[in-house]
């Protein structure tokens, strides 16, 4: 059945058909590695696609039509890559010409050049670059480690990045020239040669810094998750990890050869992480970094109840099972380890506040439709409830400071607010529907005029 198409419709269709797309590309290319790369390329193409407001069709049909065209282009580009490898050997007769190592020759050459470029950098610049790119250390953490300013770290990273990129740009330009097709070795063809670099480096031990840096940069998969008011979303990652996003939340997820990275921009998320000792799972939420190997935990960016204090957000981390380490990118406090049944609240300029939960499942009770508050303020509660209702909830400063402990059924959030005068010294008024169709609920202290 034809339906109006939009970018979000196609991206949702992509997520629902992710495994089928990998199988489709694998059947067309005969390569599991190429299938994963093409699936990522398809996601990027959908993100960039311009869709007219009047365009209609069957999402699955359009999705697999685009996939089929990409598979055809991939086969054509591979022929060009093969032409380049043969041209490279023809111009470098001193290289050993073994039938199974045509592209390995090019891989070794570029790794040697990359290694030489990195080794020519000042020692601190090289170490800062590797710690940032491979270990994932932040600018402030590196500045503290080396006793320099943040701007110095940024200059070191920029210098090293230019040196590495110059090698890659020169290699790509040389490849296109020798293949006789300037501009042809892009997209899949370049990533195929990058794949050769990784395969060669893994088989031979690589060239130290160059291989480790290159391997860490190859992104295998990425996804953006976002939700609107009152809606939650769950997705399974390629490694089997499950991510559940709360209402009004957004997360950017990226998997590379060396790490699994999530940037939580807003809201809350619960993670059920598959154990992979060689590839840590890292969640960044503002200044806070949570690192795990395999566990079930939640991260919640708490919005301030007063909008003018938007920069003073706190991050809450709760652990249902396993163990996580929470650190500050600015080094404001020493890393904190949390185990099952523990929850911590972390905020710039304040010492971490830790507590033990009555039930580890309370680490993310919102997944089951409940919110649990202990020794909170009414302002904090109202701020969280705004994620789940279209109602425009306004609270006065005196009412926002009222202390409260509560367990709230999310589906009955508005009813709970209306009953507040029975348990705390506040007034609640409900105005008729606004122009947007949502009621305006005002909560004020009995002492406020």
CATH class of the domain defined by 369-445: alpha beta
What contacts 59, CB < 8 A, 6 or more positions away?
A: 3, 5, 9, 10, 12, 13
The one-character DSSP state at 274 is: P
Fold (CATH) for 220-365? Jelly Rolls (2.60.120)
pLDDT of residue 87: 45
Position 350 pLDDT exceeds 70:
yes
What contacts 231, CB < 8 A, 6 or more positions away?
A: 247
* Token representation of residue 299: 């991260």
Q: What is the pLDDT of residues 197-213, one digit of tens each?
A: 444 444 444 455 555 55
268-272/260-266 β-pairing: unpaired
What contacts 424, CB < 8 A, 6 or more positions away?
A: 378, 402, 404
Q: What is the pLDDT of residues 81-136, one digit of tens each?
A: 444 444 443 444 344 433 344 445 555 666 677 778 888 889 898 888 877 765 66
Considering only residues 189 and 314, tell me which one the structure prediction assigns the higher pLDDT.
314
* Token representation of residue 211: 């291989």
Q: For residue 187, name the pLDDT band (cuts at 50, 70, 90).
A: very low
What contacts 3, CB < 8 A, 6 or more positions away?
A: 9, 56, 57, 58, 59
What contacts 180, CB < 8 A, 6 or more positions away?
A: 83, 87
Same fold for the pair 220-365 and 369-445: no
Please tell me the least confidently modeled range out of 42-56, 237-251, 284-298, 399-413: 42-56
The full set of domain ranges for the chain reads: 220-365, 369-445
- Distance between CA atoms of 383 and 402, rounded to whole angstroms? 14
What Å distances lie between residue 197 and 79, 201, 288, 306, CA to CA? 18, 6, 34, 52
């Amino acid at each position: 059945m034809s339906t109006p198409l939009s970018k979000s419709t196609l991206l949702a269709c992509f997520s629902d058909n992710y495994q089928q797309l990998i199988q489709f590309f694998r059947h067309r290319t005969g390569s599991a590695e190429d299938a994963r790369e093409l699936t990522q390329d398809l996601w990027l193409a959908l993100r960039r696609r311009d869709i007219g407001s009047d365009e209609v069709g069957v999402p699955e049909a359009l999705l697999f039509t685009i996939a089929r065209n990409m598979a055809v282009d991939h086969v054509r580009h591979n022929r060009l890559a093969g032409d380049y490898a043969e041209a490279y050997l023809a111009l470098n007769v001193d290289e050993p010409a073994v039938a199974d190592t045509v592209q390995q020759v090019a891989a070794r050459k570029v790794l040697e050049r990359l290694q030489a470029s990195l080794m020519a950098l000042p020692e601190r610049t090289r170490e800062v670059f590797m710690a940032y790119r491979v270990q994932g250390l932040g600018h402030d953490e590196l500045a503290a480690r080396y006793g320099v300013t943040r701007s110095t770290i940024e200059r070191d990273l920029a210098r090293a990045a230019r040196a590495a990129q110059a090698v890659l740009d020169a290699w790509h330009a040389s490849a296109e020239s020798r293949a006789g097709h300037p501009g042809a070795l892009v997209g899949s063809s370049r990533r195929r040669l990058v794949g050769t670099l990784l395969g060669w480096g893994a088989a031979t031990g690589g060239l130290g810094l160059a291989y480790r840096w290159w391997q860490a940069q190859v992104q295998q998969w990425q996804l953006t998750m976002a939700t609107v008011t009152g809606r939650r979303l769950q997705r399974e990652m390629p490694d089997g990890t499950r991510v559940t996003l709360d209402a009004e939340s957004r997360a950017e997820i990226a998997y590379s050869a060396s790490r699994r990275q999530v940037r939580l921009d807003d809201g809350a998320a619960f993670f059920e992480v598959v154990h992979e000792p060689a590839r840590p799972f890292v969640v960044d939420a503002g200044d806070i970094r949570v690192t795990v190997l395999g566990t079930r935990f939640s991260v919640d960016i708490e919005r301030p109840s007063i909008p003018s204090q938007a920069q003073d957000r706190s991050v809450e981390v709760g652990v249902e099972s396993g163990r996580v380490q929470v650190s500050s990118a600015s080094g404001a406090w020493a890393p904190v380890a949390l185990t099952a049944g523990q929850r911590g609240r972390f905020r710039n300029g304040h010492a971490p506040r830790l507590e033990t939960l009555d039930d580890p499942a309370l680490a993310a009770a919102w997944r089951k439709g409940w919110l649990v508050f202990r020794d909170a303020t009414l302002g904090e509660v109202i701020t969280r409830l705004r994620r789940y209702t279209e109602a425009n909830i306004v609270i006065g400063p005196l009412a926002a400071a009222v202390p409260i402990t509560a367990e709230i059924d999310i589906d009955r959030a508005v009813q709970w607010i209306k009953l507040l005068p029975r348990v705390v010294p506040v007034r609640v008024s409900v105005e008729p529907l606004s122009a947007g169709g949502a009621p305006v609920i005002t909560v004020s202290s009995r002492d406020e005029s």
